[in-house]
Every structure is written in C-alpha cells, then in structure tokens.
Structure 1
Amino acid sequence: MTETGRQPAVDRDATVLRLLRTGAMRLEGQLIDASNTTLRAVIEADGTAIRCVYKPVRGERPLWDFPDGTLAGREVAAHLVAQALGWPLVPPTVLRDGPIGPGACQLWIDEPDGSVPLVDFVAADQVPTDWLPVAAARDTDGKPYALAHADDPRLARLAVFDIVVNNADRKGGHVLAGPDNQVYGVDHGLCFHVDDKLRTVLWGWSGRPLPPEAGSALRQLRTAIDATLGGQLASLLTQAEITQLAGRVDGLIEAGCFPSPPATRSAIPWPPM
C-alpha cells in the first residue's frame, strides 16, 4: 500500500489477474447483443469478489477470415500488448476454464452514471469544437448527422493501440470510460490478422502526428516483442501474426503519424456503435 492508503495500479492489476485466473466463477447473465456468447460472471476467492466478462471458446461464431476457436486468445493477446505499451487501455484479461469450458475472462468495467460518450452520432451542424468528425450520415428522415469522437489524448492512445493490433472491429460501444478516469477498449477478438483489417470509428486524427508519448511507448513495445512478449504471444497467435505485429510497430514508428482510411475497402465497422 502507498502512504495514502491506495494500492498502486501495478499491484491492483496483479491482484485482479490472480483473481481472474484462480477464483471460483459464478455466472450472472448473458449480454444478448453480442455476436458471440458473452456472459457476465462473478469471480470469488479469499473473501474478495469481482465481476468479469466471460467469453467461452465454444460460443465463438465461425468467421471466414479468422481461424475457429482463436478469438479468446486474441482478447488475451490484446491485453498483453497494451501492458507492453505501458498504457492500461485493455482491462485485465486471462485465458481460463469456466462453466462452459475454456475462454477469455476480463474484468468488468462499470461506466459512471451520467458519463458522456466519447464517440457518437451528432447533428452535422452541432459537432462540438473539441470533437473530430469521421463520417457523414443521415437519419431515417434524411437529417444530416456526423459520426464523430472527442479529441481526447486518452482516445488517441487507443487509436494508436488499434493500429498496432490491427483491430477490425473498433465500434463506439467498445470504448468505455471507467470510474478511474481511464478510457478502456474492449472486445478485441478480431485483432492481429496478418492482412490489413483496421476498421475503426477513431479516424479523426488521420494524417496527424502521433501523440508525443507514442514514440517511446512503441519502441518499448518493439523491444518487448523481441524479448519476453513474443514468447507470451506464441501460445495465443501464429508466428506470422507476431511477425506482422512487429512490422506494424516498426511502420508506425517510422511514419510518426496516424494513417488515413483505406479507399479500397470498408474502414468503419458495421454497425459503428
């Protein structure tokens, strides 16, 4: 504990990871809007209880472009990459057995009551001055709207992370504002493909320089891949996917700026929110 009585973030994460790995799991309910089986559960051990999201492998829907049974491992790999960057962007996530078999188990993030979305559809003439437009849209009555997001440094770091992991499904609903003033990204099963799959609602910084802290974080990640991280990822991803991960980090360091949306394929997931 610190002098103020608050547990350091690193210690808290270690405690949460230990609970996620070893605690007894009790299912509470199912998130019915999710594409794959997604359950909320309580993890308990030694008198401590936390909520989590449990995604069993057997509940994964087959996809044409991602190998069957690999999405849970990709969720864990995303958490490891965020840790290596030094950015707590992904809630603690582990691979463990559960009531429906092995799956990804991730700390549940409760958004504070009254929290303002960081990504949203807004009337085209009412985009806040501190927001960045991404795409034009119209409602059922033909009224013009804009898909836009906050020009927030926490969100910019998440956009950098998505480029690195090649996130094919960054919807607005996958961006959470935690009670600790931290922005979290969730739902990373569709990441790390060897082909360019980046689909995101966070295109507002296209062509702009990366955040000042991104360079050192990316170099730290690149060093980790060649050291211990590569070995940790080997049980979760293919060697080709790890090689491509390293290549994307190298490319982003060299470019020093956010990429622009591709013109030859869809750049925004559907639905965006």
Structure 2
Amino acid sequence: MTISEPSDPHPAASDDADRPPTDPNGVERVLREGELIIVGRIPTASNTTLVCDAVLDDTEVRCVYKPVRGEVPLWDFPDGTLAGREVASYLVSEALGWSVIPTTLHRAGPLGPGMVQRWVITPDNDDTPAHVGGAELPVPRVEMVDLCPADTVPTGYRAILRALDPTGEPVVLVHADDPRLQRMAVLDIVLNNADRKGGHVLEGLDGGVYGVDHGICLHADDKLRTVLWGWAGEPVPAHLLADLAGFVDHLTDDEHPLTRALAEHITTVEILALAERAAELVARETMPHPPGHHPIPWPPF
C-alpha cells in the first residue's frame, strides 16, 4: 500500500513558485471516495477532531475528519456548520489559485457527514527522525509563528507584540516575513478569519505553508482576529491583487460554479460580504491595521 503525499517540493521559479500542487497524486479522489479509518483523536481540539486514513484501492491518505455531530454550537455563528465553513474557505483559497488550505471536502464518514482535510506533514509531526552522527537529535528551529525572548527578533521575522509568558518572563510574538505567509494573511482578510492562531499555521515538508481550522470564517460582520499583523499598512503584492480582482468578478455572477458551491455552505449575505471584502482590498491596495479591540485571538497558539 502506498501513501499519497504532495510531490515536487521544488517547483520551477516563477510568481507561483512557492505554491504547492493543488491535487498531488489524486489526493482529492482518495479523500472523497476512500474508506475513512479512524486512527486517533486530537484531544486538545474544542470540537471532535479525528485523525483518519482514507483508503482507496492500494492508496491511503492521512487526513483530519471533523463530523458535524461533534461540533459545539456557537451563538454568533448560527448559520450552517463549522465543517461547511471550512469547506467554503478551501473553495475560496482554490478559486484564488493560492493553495493556502489543504485539500478539504464535505462527505459522509463513520460518525456522519463532516469535513475531511488532507493531513499536512510538518517537521514536528514527521515520523522520520533527524540523524546527527548516528544519534537522533531534534533540529532547533523557529516556527513560522513563534514566541521568542524579549528584544530577540530572528532575522527574517517581524515582531507583532510583546507580552509575558506563563512564567512571567517577557517574550515577543513574531512571524516570518515570508511571501507564503503574507498570502495567508491576505486570505484571512478576505475570509474574515476570526481565529488565525500560530498553531493554525503549518509549514509542510512539501514546501507549502498551510492554514488550518477555518470553522469560524466568512461571517458577514467584521470578526478578523489574527497573529499575522506584520504587514499592516503595507501594499498588497500586485499579483495577489490581480487574483482578487478576478475572484470578485466570479462572485458577482450568481450562476458561477464558485458562487453556487459556496451557497451550499454559507448564506447569501455572507457571500455578498465576502465579495465586498475582496473588492475593498483591491481598491485600497494596502493591508489593514489592527482594530482597537481584540485584534489577536487569545491564547495566540
């Protein structure tokens, strides 16, 4: 049996060079049609989150399965389901051609219908150990979003805020100054992501930087809360603005396949608000500044 994983971690240089393949090795088909075999549960998740293997013929794909029946209702997100919002967020990412969110779809599973999403293999969850001189040693690294000692901002990182850690020591919250992460920050503005924590940013071994946990996105009211404020007030890269302009054109057509697909998961008012946020960003051409109240989800990880 083979495990299907993203291929070609070093694509040719271009404006899209840091974008991983959309559906490497037919992952979507396996996730959609394969048998879901539960192998574990993520106990720290606020909603039922199961780790599964999707098995189809001789191929298996590791994935996350969040059944609708395991969701904790949120009073301020009364419409649809959290699983549906995760799928809608993925549809937006794919319509833009950004591949920020791992392959995500809605399907039946062992505990009923829910969201299924490709598992992202990262340096932290990779089963292959690093060997140094015959010994297995951890490789020190700064995460894409991390806490560092106060006044110590690593090269290539941006400081977001200074605070005290649980032991009372001063620390600084930082994130990488990376175009892949900036693309995620722009997507979060469009999605109106209310919960972009550092732990929701994954650097895959395939060269992609992925965002996960989009269950509280796409509300019509302003709810943006994110740790990715490092580009506040700076210009949005021109190629991302061009993608957004085309995206807005799609959403103005009620019969466009994207609009119809989104309508299966979010309300008409939320689709209109999505189009307005994208259009406003195109017109403004700059990243917004944090609001004066609760701009960062807490805790940030």
What is the rounded CA distance, in whole Å, between the counterparts of 2:162 and 2:91 in structure 1? Answer: 35
Is the alpha carbon distance of 1:39 and 1:68 closer, same or farther for their aligned partners in structure 2, counting shifts above 3 Å? farther
Equivalent residue, structure 2, for 1:233: 262
- Residue identity in the other structure for 1:217: D
Q: Does 1:75 align with 2:86?
A: yes
Equivalent residue, structure 1, for 2:226: 200
Deviations 1:43-100 (A, max 9, x none): 0112110110000001001112012651000010111100011101000001001111
What is the rounded CA distance, in whole Å, between the counterparts of 1:28 and 1:6 in structure 2? Answer: 28
Q: Does 1:247 align with 2:276?
A: yes
| 1:22-171 map, 5 Å | 22-67=33-78, 70-112=81-123, 114=139, 116-171=142-197
Query: Which ranges in structure 2 are unaligned for 5 or more consecutive residues?
Result: 1-6, 10-19, 125-138
Query: Which ranges in structure 1 are unaligned for 5 or more consecutive residues?
Result: none
What is the rounded CA distance, in whole Å, between the counterparts of 2:191 and 2:226 in structure 1? Answer: 12
Q: Does 1:181 align with 2:207?
A: yes
What is the rounded CA distance, in whole Å, between the counterparts of 1:242 and 1:20 in structure 2? Answer: 26
Equivalent residue, structure 1, for 2:294: 266
Deviations 1:164-218 (A, max 9, x none): 0000000000000111111000000010001100000001111011123211111
What is the rounded CA distance, in whole Å, between the counterparts of 2:118 and 2:94 in structure 1? Answer: 15
Is the alpha carbon distance of 1:10 and 1:184 closer, same or farther for their aligned partners in structure 2, counting shifts above 3 Å? closer
My pick for the range that moved more, 90-99 or 66-75, is: 66-75
Give the RMSD, CA atoms, in angstroms. 1.8
Helix, strand or coil at the partner of 1:41: strand
What is the rounded CA distance, in whole Å, between the counterparts of 1:120 and 1:212 in structure 2? Answer: 28
In the alignment, is the contact (CA less than 8 A) between 2:8 and 2:206 conserved in 1?
Answer: no
Identity across the alignment (%): 53
How many angstroms does 1:131 deviate by?
1.1
- Residue identity in the other structure for 2:21: A
What is the rounded CA distance, in whole Å, between the counterparts of 1:134 and 1:221 in structure 2? Answer: 30
What is the rounded CA distance, in whole Å, between the counterparts of 2:216 and 2:206 in structure 1? Answer: 27
Is the alpha carbon distance of 1:141 and 1:236 closer, same or farther for their aligned partners in structure 2, counting shifts above 3 Å? closer
What is the rounded CA distance, in whole Å, between the counterparts of 1:191 and 1:147 in structure 2? Answer: 23
What is the rounded CA distance, in whole Å, between the counterparts of 2:67 and 2:173 in structure 1? Answer: 32
Counterpart pick for 1:257 among 274, 286, 300 = 286
Is the alpha carbon distance of 1:129 and 1:96 closer, same or farther for their aligned partners in structure 2, counting shifts above 3 Å? same
What is the rounded CA distance, in whole Å, between the counterparts of 2:30 and 2:166 in structure 1? Answer: 47
What is the rounded CA distance, in whole Å, between the counterparts of 1:61 and 1:223 in structure 2? Answer: 35
In the alignment, is the contact (CA less than 8 A) between 1:60 and 1:69 conserved in 2?
Answer: no
Q: Given the two structures, how large is their TM-score scaled by the length of structure 1?
A: 0.93
Helix, strand or coil at the partner of 2:175: strand
Helix, strand or coil at the partner of 1:50: strand
Q: Given the two structures, how large is their TM-score scaled by the length of structure 2?
A: 0.85
What is the rounded CA distance, in whole Å, between the counterparts of 1:52 and 1:140 in structure 2? Answer: 32
What is the rounded CA distance, in whole Å, between the counterparts of 1:116 and 1:49 in structure 2? Answer: 31
More helix by share: 1
